[in-house]
Amino acid sequence: MREPIQLPLDQAELTADLGGGLVRRTVHPSGLRVLTERMPGARSASIGFWVGVGSRDEQAERPDAPGSLGSTHFLEHLLFKGTPTRDAFSIATEFDRIGAEHNALTAKEYTCYHAKVRDVDLEVAVTMLSDMVANSVLDEEEFETERGVILEELAMAADDLADVANERFFEAVLGEHPLGRPIGGWPETITEARRADVDRHYRNRYDPSTLVVTAAGAVDHDGLVAQILAALNASPEQRWHTDGSAAPVRRAQVVDAEPEGAAALGSATLDSALAREPRVHITERPSEQLNLLIGTIGFSANDPRRFAYGIMNSVLGGGMSSRLFQEIREKRGLAYTAYSFGASYSDSGVFAMYAGTAPEKAADVIELSRVELRRLADTEISGDELDRALGQIAGSTALALEDSDTRMGRLARAELGSGELYDLDASLERFAAVTPEHIHEVAATLAARPLTVVAVGDASRSSLDSRG
């Protein structure tokens, strides 16, 4: 079985073949890490400036920083709003001038500022992203303008009931743990946010030791490293200069640990969990459908069962031939969409089954979802289902890796997370080694955990009652 490429933090240089793409990695004494994957024949490149800081890393509410929650996402917005040499319009203009696809994202465990450009324009993209990440001024007037923009973004998300259900589900399952908080904060924390708090978050969390730059496509590794170092050393902010020495920061990985503050799992067995009615959390909204999420605590990102978990999700709710889709939509017409998913993080995760249905049908959909999870826990899947799931995972993964954005993200997530970089063949070999018994064991583990149901919509027309 092919082994993953190891990414030790104390190895200055690394070169490896990643299934046809040449991967190079530099760990600078300042803690900065740069990883590239050269894709033969590419005429474009994707580049990301990743900071290993996400919404879970924000300080909890306290009297002297009432708006600190949501500061990571607030900061993501503000880095587009100006540096000592460029205002917000200049940043937008320079990206548009080269036809760049550029954006940023905030997640629970990292933040990324990224662009996809023609090969001849990669130097411009690096210049822009370096300036934004290292030299943002967090202008007070722009801060107030962006406060309004973020409040509108949160309002837009609040009108999407599937988004609301997702946020409520994380809160219900993970409780007071930081992973249970919404990434963008709440309207009240954004309303109370102060520039000083966001600036403190920026200066305390952003420096070379937390920065990982990844690029894939038509990219020259040595040239990229030299350009990034020059840009950081030209920063007026001393903390970005790379003449010092610092240990690169990587988030610790924990296998199958219940996060402190999450809803208690207790010592449930499969029989006791399935016999007990799930906890139900209802958010009333005027709607034609109820958005339902049924699930529990899942597995961490580095759990050795993650490959069996992926196949289980494919069989249960990964496509049009999956059990949930067939039973809920195709056979009974109870929903347009039905699927399952897992979201995994360094120390925990969640597992959920989703469907949007008429309120009057919600109880039936919830029961069918529980039954299908129970069937996976009680009996092994067929060989045909296993082969179909393996084919789906192999095909979708191979197609995704045709895109330089996917390869760029793969490098970053390996570097920031497990420290192991899998090529396509190494991943597929591990999926192929999964047996029906492995899948049965994963399903049984999940089914033995108390289930939570989140329902968002006009629940008054359903038979559901809130219960904890």
Token pair 């803690």 is found at: 31
Token pair, residue 63, equals 């009297």
Token pair 């359903």 is found at: 462
- Catalytic residues, by residue number, are 76
Residue 68 φ then ψ, to 5°: -70, -30
Q: What number of other Cβ atoms are within 10 A of residue 271's Cβ?
A: 10
Token pair, residue 147, equals 């406060």
Token pair, residue 330, equals 């195709």
Q: What number of other Cβ atoms are within 10 A of residue 148's Cβ?
A: 10
Q: Give me the numbers of helices (H) and strands (E) for the chain, helices first please.
A: 16, 14
Distance CA 232, CA 225 (A): 11
Q: What number of other Cβ atoms are within 10 A of residue 331's Cβ?
A: 10
Distance CA 133, CA 139 (A): 14
Q: What number of other Cβ atoms are within 10 A of residue 424's Cβ?
A: 17
Distance CA 293, CA 133 (A): 37
Distance CA 464, CA 468 (A): 13
